[in-house]
Amino acid sequence: MSETQTAEATETVDAVEQPFEYPVTVEDAGSGSKKVSVEIPRDRIDTEIKKQFGELRKQAALPGFRVGRAPQKLIEKRFATDVKNDVRRSLISESYEQAIEKNKLQVLGEPEFEDIEKAQIPDDGGPLKYSFNVEVQPDFILPDIAQITVKKPKIDIKEENIDQAMTNLREQQGALVPVEDRGVEEKDYMTADVHVKLEGKVVAHQHDAQLVARPGRIGGVQIDDLADKVKGMKAGETRNFTVKAPENHPDETARGKDLEVEVAVKDIKRLELAAITESFLADLGFEKEAELRDALREQMQEKIDFDVQTAMREQVARYLYENVTLDLPQKMSERQVDRVIQRRAMDLMMRGATREQLEANIEALRAGAGDEAQRELKLFFILQKLAADLGVDVDEEELNGRIAYMAIQRDQRPETLKKEMANNGQLVQMYIQMREQKALDKVLETVKVEVVEVKPEEEKKAE
Q: Please write the tens of the pLDDT for every residue from 253-273.
A: 888 899 999 999 999 999 999
Residue 87 lies in a domain: yes
Q: What would the pLDDT profile of 16-65 be if each residue is shown by its tens digit?
A: 456 789 999 999 887 778 899 999 999 999 999 888 877 776 766 666 66
* Boundary (domain end) residue, out of 88, 108, 136: 136
Strands 149-154 and 448-453, how do they pair?
parallel
Residue 169 lies in a domain: no
> Over 70: is that where the pLDDT of 461 sits?
no
> Over 60: is that where the pLDDT of 462 sits?
no
Say what the pLDDT of residue 59 is: 67
Q: Does 313 lie in the same domain as 192?
A: no
Contact yes or no for 428/129 (Cβ under 8 A): no
The DSSP annotation for 73-110 comes to HHHHHHHHHHHHHHHHHHHHHHHHHHHHHHTT--EEEE
Q: Does 103 lie in the same domain as 188?
A: no
Q: Does 105 lie in the same domain as 187?
A: no
Residue 41 lies in a domain: yes
Residue 353 lies in a domain: no
By the 10 Å C-beta count (0-12 exposed, 13-18 middle, 19+ buried), 218 is classed as: buried
Residue 381 lies in a domain: no
- SS3 at position 329: coil
Q: Does 232 lie in the same domain as 128?
A: no
Provide the β-strand partners of residue 129: 39
Q: Which domain holds residue 75?
A: 21-136
Residue 12 lies in a domain: no
Banded pLDDT at 218 (limits 50, 70, 90): confident
201 Cβ contact partners less than 8 Å away, ≥ 6 residues apart:
none
Q: Does 305 lie in the same domain as 245?
A: no
Contact yes or no for 373/339 (Cβ under 8 A): yes
For the domain that residue 43 is a member of, what is the CATH number? 3.30.70.1050
Say what the pLDDT of residue 343 is: 67
Q: Does 253 lie in the same domain as 202?
A: yes
Contact yes or no for 265/237 (Cβ under 8 A): yes
Residue 5 lies in a domain: no
Contact yes or no for 31/108 (Cβ under 8 A): no
Give the C-alpha separation, 165 to 157, whole Å: 11
Quick one: average pLDDT of 393-421? 89
End-to-end CA distance of the chain: give it in Å, rounded. 86
Q: Does 409 lie in the same domain as 310?
A: yes
> Over 60: is that where the pLDDT of 169 sits?
yes
Give the C-alpha separation, 180 to 266, whole Å: 11
Side-chain-side CA neighbours of 241 within 13 Å: the count stands at: 15
- SS3 at position 205: strand
Contact yes or no for 255/154 (Cβ under 8 A): no
Residue 220 lies in a domain: yes
241 Cβ contact partners less than 8 Å away, ≥ 6 residues apart:
229, 260, 261, 263
Q: Does 298 lie in the same domain as 446?
A: yes
Quick one: average pLDDT of 168-185? 93
Quick one: average pLDDT of 119-131? 89
The 3-class secondary structure across 147-167, one letter per residue, is HCEEEEEECCCCHHHHHHHHH
How large a percentage of the chain has pLDDT more than 90? Answer: 51
Quick one: average pLDDT of 63-81? 67
By the 10 Å C-beta count (0-12 exposed, 13-18 middle, 19+ buried), 95 is classed as: buried
Q: Does 130 lie in the same domain as 31?
A: yes
Q: Does 299 lie in the same domain as 404?
A: yes
Provide the β-strand partners of residue 132: 36, 113
What one-letter code names the amino acid at 397?
E
Number of domains in the chain: 3
Contact yes or no for 122/41 (Cβ under 8 A): no
For the domain that residue 186 is a member of, what is the CATH number? 3.10.50.40
Query: Is the pTM for the entire model greater than 0.75?
Result: no
How large a percentage of the chain has pLDDT more than 70? Answer: 86
Q: Is 285 left (phi over 0), alpha (psi -120 to 50) or beta?
A: left
Banded pLDDT at 12 (limits 50, 70, 90): very low
Banded pLDDT at 167 (limits 50, 70, 90): very high
* Boundary (domain end) residue, out of 272, 300, 318: 272
Query: Which of these ranges, 54-68, 160-174, 319-333, has the smallest mean pLDDT?
Result: 54-68
Neighbours of 227 (CB within 10 A): 18
Of residues 330 and 458, more confidently modeled: 330
Q: Does 67 lie in the same domain as 119?
A: yes
Q: Does 423 lie in the same domain as 294?
A: yes
Angle, in degrees to the nearest 10, between helices 42-59 and 72-102: 130
